Amino acid sequence: MRIDVVSIFPEYLAPLDVSLVGKARAKGLLDVRLHQLRDQAHDVHRTVDDTPYGGGPGMVMKPEPWAAALEEVAPLDGESVPRLIVPTPSGRPFTQELAVELAAEPWLVFAPARYEGIDRRVIEDAATRMRVDEVSIGDYVLAGGEVAVLVMVEAVARLLPGVLGNAESVRDDSFAPGAMANLLEGPVYTKPAEWRGREVPPVLLSGNHGAIARWRRDQALARTAENRPDLLERLTAGEADKKDRAT
Ligand code: ADE
């Protein structure tokens, strides 16, 4: 998969060199290219923002540098067309489902904004030739979209074939589709079996795989009820049945 990121702070994306994403890049599974938006602003100050029409606080990112940057990354006469992701708190929610969808794309371009956002016409213009999604990573406001890009790239990269050592760790994720869909993952333990007087739940040492699976489901239900009761309402009928049988 190829990922391009256009930003006035490409150095903010330095963590993409590290750990899972860094290894995926080193293995050639992910081709990440960072671009400086200001390279497309040609006045002495390399200006990328201006005051908003209609008044109001803050500044708006100018259309010309963004259009030039996007067209340099994905030329208008290019053979393939990327999917453009614009992080913004006013976008559709970023979910595991969207991460799975994006992981199937060959090419993503991220356009993280600073200030009050990008002139609307850039998004409308891009949408005439590529799929564009405005995406929010949560109901809070960051200083810019770069951190949202880090979040999305990591969530997508770990789903790419060959990136995670153990394919099962994706299967059991909180929010992964399947038997435990819509349940949060329960607690996990490792050695030693007793630590500071606290024992690992004996069922996990029992070797009884059925009992372990039931215990994990109960823990997942309890944690979901505690932290995300809204998710329990989305349980499928099958899930609810299993829940009844487990209690
Ligand atoms: N930019 C600022 N806040 C954001 C958020 N919550 N999600 C995505 N991009 C953002």
Assess whether the region 2-157 and the region 172-246 belong to the same CATH fold: no
User: Quick one: CA dihedral 30, 140, 184, 223, positive or negative?
Assistant: positive
Q: Would you state the pLDDT for residue 168? A: 57
- SS3 string of 98-123? HHHHHHCCCEEEECCCCCCCECHHHH
Measured between alpha carbons, how far is residue 49 from residues 109, 115, 117, 122, 152 in Å? 21, 8, 9, 13, 25
CB of 117 sitting under 6 A from ligand 1: no
Q: Which residues are catalytic?
A: 89, 116, 158, 173
pLDDT of 229 strictly over 70: yes
pLDDT of 132 strictly over 60: yes
Averaged pLDDT for residues 57-80: 97
Q: Would you state the pLDDT for residue 247? A: 46
CB of 151 sitting under 6 A from ligand 1: no
Q: Cα of 88 to ligand 1 centre, how many Å?
A: 4
Q: Would you state the pLDDT for residue 38? A: 98
User: Quick one: CA dihedral 172, 2, 136, 46, positive or negative?
Assistant: positive
Of the listed ranges 95-104, 129-138, 234-243, the least confidently predicted one is 234-243
Q: Which residue has the tokens 């979040």?
A: 151
Averaged pLDDT for residues 140-146: 97
Residues with Cβ within 8 Å of 54's Cβ and at least 6 positions away in sequence, in order, are: none
For residues 243 and 216, give the distance between their C-alpha atoms in angstroms, rounded to a whole number.
12
Ranges of each domain in the chain: 2-157, 172-246
CB of 145 sitting under 6 A from ligand 1: yes
Burial of 149 (0-12, 13-18, 19+ CB in 10 A): buried
Q: Cα of 199 to ligand 1 centre, how many Å?
A: 41
Q: Which residue has the tokens 């109001």?
A: 56
Averaged pLDDT for residues 47-68: 98
Report field, pTM of the whole predicted structure over 0.90: yes
Averaged pLDDT for residues 111-122: 96
Phi, psi for residue 97 in degrees, rounded to 5: -60, -45
Q: Which of 110, 142, 133 is nearest to 16 (CA)?
A: 110
Q: Would you state the pLDDT for residue 237? A: 55
> Would you say 142 is a known binding-site residue?
yes
For residues 47 and 27, give the distance between their C-alpha atoms in angstroms, rounded to a whole number.
37
For residues 126 and 121, give the distance between their C-alpha atoms in angstroms, rounded to a whole number.
8
Q: Cα of 201 to ligand 1 centre, how many Å?
A: 40
CB of 7 sitting under 6 A from ligand 1: no
| Average model confidence (pLDDT) across the chain | 93
Q: Over the stretch 173-199, which tens digit does the pLDDT of each residue have?
A: 778 766 677 899 999 999 999 999 999
CB of 53 sitting under 6 A from ligand 1: no
Best substitution site from 61, 88, 123 to test ligand 1's pocket, by max atoms within 8 Å of Cβ?
A: 88
Ligand 1 atom having least distance to the Cα of 143: 2
Q: Would you state the pLDDT for residue 245? A: 54
Q: Would you state the pLDDT for residue 167? A: 59
> Would you say 141 is a known binding-site residue?
yes
Q: Would you state the pLDDT for residue 24? A: 97
Q: Cα of 237 to ligand 1 centre, how many Å?
A: 34
Q: Would you state the pLDDT for residue 170? A: 78
pLDDT of 240 strictly over 70: no
Q: Which of 194, 215, 197 is nearest to 206 (CA)?
A: 215
Domain at 172-246, CATH from 3.40.640.10, 3.90.226.10, 1.10.1270.20, 3.40.50.720: 1.10.1270.20
Q: Over the stretch 145-167, which tens digit does the pLDDT of each residue have?
A: 999 999 999 999 999 999 998 65
Domain at 2-157, CATH from 3.40.1280.10, 3.30.9.10, 3.40.190.10, 3.50.7.10: 3.40.1280.10
CB of 140 sitting under 6 A from ligand 1: yes
